[in-house]
Amino acid sequence: MAMSDYKEIIRQYQNKSGGIIEAYNAIQKSYGYIPEDAVAAAASAFKVPKAEAYGVATFYSYLKIGPRGRNVIRICESAPCHIAGAEEVVKTLEKELGIKMGETTADGKFSLEFTECVGQCQATPVITVNRKPYEGVSAGNVAAILAEYK
Amino acid sequence: MVEEMRIVLRNLGKIDPLKIDDYINAGGYKSLQKAWGMSQMDVIQEVKNSGLRGRGGAGFNAGVKWGFSYNTPADQKYVVCNADEGEPGTYKDRIIMEKDPQSLLEGMAICGYAIGATKGFIYCRGEYPFVAELLNQAIKQAKDKGVLGDFDIEVRMGAGAYVCGEETALIESIEGHRGEPRFKPPFPGVSGLWGKPTVVNNVETFANLPSILEKGADWYKAIGAPGYPGTKVVTLTGDVANKTFFEVPTDTSIRDVVFGLGGGIPNNKKFKAVQIGGTSGGFIPEALLDTPIDFDSMGAIGATLGSGAVFVMDETRDIVDIATRIAKFFEHESCGKCTPCREGTKRMYELMVKMNNGQATAGDWALMNKLGSTMKQISLCGLGQAAPVPILTTMEHFNQEYKAKLLA
């Protein structure tokens, strides 16, 4: 993954009104997460107190300050996925990767997170890998999905 | 036999969403040109007369909303499209944007002309980066063709916050802040984005406009339920044979949606409940299935049309367990700004876990009722007001399932 400097990314957005969230989204797209120092840099570029820049970055559940796995797997646990067997998918993912929900594999390849509805409810349960949706996931096809990222 | 009627999805499968010429050849952008030939007031009056009400869940008359912004003098006004559909079980805005993005852009430009705004924003949820990409391509094509006139549209991305579907929280997010709802009044129509008059409408609301301008208010008003005319795109999930989307006139009954188009309950199981409008909607038992899906009819039975999500549950489902999962959703998504919602969703989830584990008492039951009705009345925004609805409606319609889990 090509990683552009967060300072350069912030510069691209700093003249845009309300651009701080756009900048955070772009930094995260490049790094996979938001480096701690990028929050301070954003605060000064967007002329808001550090507390506010931090407050914005921590408000949104898709933004994450600090390192995590290169591939972020999110499992939807909203009601339609819940009754379609999301729990089985969670168990299978935890077993395949040897980590619990909220953790990152030792090699830094995968993180497991819960999410709420991702709007792909035509075939439940649904997971996303780096925001790419996979529908109709079951214990039987988890390994094949993971193989795409190994 | 119930049938689909396609207005917002009229071009579905007939055009290539990324070929603006396809859209134009299908009559696209004629309505915007027609609007430009009318006075702003006449456009607003036409939309008012059509009876079009917001398709995002609040059901406010679109033309009346536009009138507020039109009547507020300002050097800059904004049109904002709410594409932050986050109600679990809902994906209709995604379908509209993926299949016919130019319809949305044309609708926004019509609104822009009517209220006197030259700038529009589409706030697209963080879960749909691929939709944002598609929209940006569609906007570029429209600009290159010059079909939007002096109206400019920009896509802004959310980052995973359900509360940003609330219009003032959405505005806060575009401004680069935490997505916390504002106190109202003032309403966005008068003072919205950066303090300027702002119309915030849902994707589906905007996508209705080209047809309304083309065929007229009288044509639209005659479709579906008189108080909430037109069609609604519904998305079916859960224990239903056809898990897909349909566009139906608003006087279609819930039964026709679930058993007609939806094909009923699979695996020879019986129906138990349906929750409409997303996770904030009320649960509906068999006895109320002949209710039409329109906004007012649903309100009359203590339910909502909301986003149009239709979540079906068969006889084997544990209602208390599902309501507990829903309580967790709201505990997670509460923004924390107002106390009734921040504390209420947390305590309600605690009580539901206790209930689901068979450890709740009759006292807890009474407490849930009291807490729920308090949250409904005094929470700041729709999130906190709606959060207890799935719990209270399941307590009402499926109270035997709760009673069976209560401590003796």
pTM of the model: 0.97
Compute the average pLDDT of residues B193-207: 98
> In this model, does residue B316 exceed pLDDT 90?
yes
| Amino acid at residue number A147 | A
User: Which residues between 61 and 100 in chain A have a beta carbon less than 8 angstroms from any beta carbon of chain B?
Assistant: 61-63, 77-80, 82-84
Q: Which CATH number fits domain B230-314: 3.10.20.600, 3.20.20.370, 3.40.630.30, 3.40.50.1980?
A: 3.10.20.600
The answer to whether B9 and B99 have CB atoms below 8 angstroms apart is yes
Q: Do B87 and A21 touch (CB under 8 A)?
A: no
- Nearest by CB to residue B161, choosing from A55, A60, A122, is A60
pLDDT tens per residue, range A91-130: 999 999 999 999 999 999 999 999 999 999 999 999 999 9
Please report which helix (H) or strand (E) contains residue B348, including its range.
helix B339-356
| Top CATH class, B319-403 | mainly alpha
> In this model, does residue B194 exceed pLDDT 80?
yes
Q: Do A61 and B160 touch (CB under 8 A)?
A: yes
Give bridge partners of residue B271 from the DSSP assignment: B314
pLDDT tens per residue, range B262-293: 999 999 999 999 999 999 999 999 999 999 99
| Distance (Å, whole) CA A141 – CA A137 | 6
**Contact residues on chain B for A59, CB-CB shorter than 8 A:** 161, 178-179, 335
Check residue B342 and give its pLDDT: 98
Best of B130, B162, B174, B178 to disrupt the A interface (most A CBs within 10 Å) is B178
CATH 3.40.50.11540 segments of chain B: 20-222
Edge-to-edge strand order for the sheet containing A110-115?
A: A110-115, A71-76, A127-129, A132-134
| Distance (Å, whole) CA A25 – CA A60 | 10
| Distance (Å, whole) CA A18 – CA B76 | 16
CATH 1.20.1440.230 segments of chain B: 319-403
Interchain contact A123–B (C-beta under 8 A): yes
Compute the average pLDDT of residues B83-112: 97
Instruction: Classify residue A46 by burial, with Cβ atoms within 10 Å: 0-12, 13-18, 19+.
Output: buried
Q: Strand B78-83 to strand B198-202: parallel, antiparallel, or no bridges (unpaired)?
A: parallel
Architecture of the domain defined by B20-222: 3-Layer(aba) Sandwich (3.40)
pLDDT tens per residue, range B80-94: 999 999 999 999 999
**Contact residues on chain A for B158, CB-CB shorter than 8 A:** 21, 60
- Nearest by CB to residue B326, choosing from A59, A62, A79, is A79
| Distance (Å, whole) CA B161 – CA B84 | 9
| Mean pLDDT of chain B, nearest integer | 97
**3-state percent breakdown (helix, strand, coil) of chain A, nearest 5:** 40, 15, 45
Distance of CA B154 to the CA centre of its chain: 21
Q: Which residues, at least 6 apart from B155, have a Cβ–Cβ distance to it below 8 Å?
A: B121, B122, B124, B132, B135, B136, B139
**Contact residues on chain B for A17, CB-CB shorter than 8 A:** 175-176, 194
Check residue B292 and give its pLDDT: 98
Domains identified in chain A and CATH numbers:
6-59 (no CATH), 71-147 (3.40.30.10)
Each of the 150 residues of chain A gets a pLDDT tens digit; together they read: 455 799 999 999 999 999 999 999 999 999 999 999 999 999 999 999 999 999 999 999 999 999 999 999 999 999 999 999 999 999 999 999 999 999 999 999 999 999 999 999 999 999 999 999 999 999 999 999 999 998
- Nearest by CB to residue B311, choosing from A46, A77, A79, is A79
Instruction: Classify residue A15 by burial, with Cβ atoms within 10 Å: 0-12, 13-18, 19+.
Output: exposed
The CA distances from residue B359 to A42, B309, B351, B363, B366, in Å, are 48, 32, 9, 11, 14
User: Which residues between 24 and 63 in chain A have a beta carbon less than 8 angstroms from any beta carbon of chain B?
Assistant: 24-25, 46, 52, 55-56, 59-63
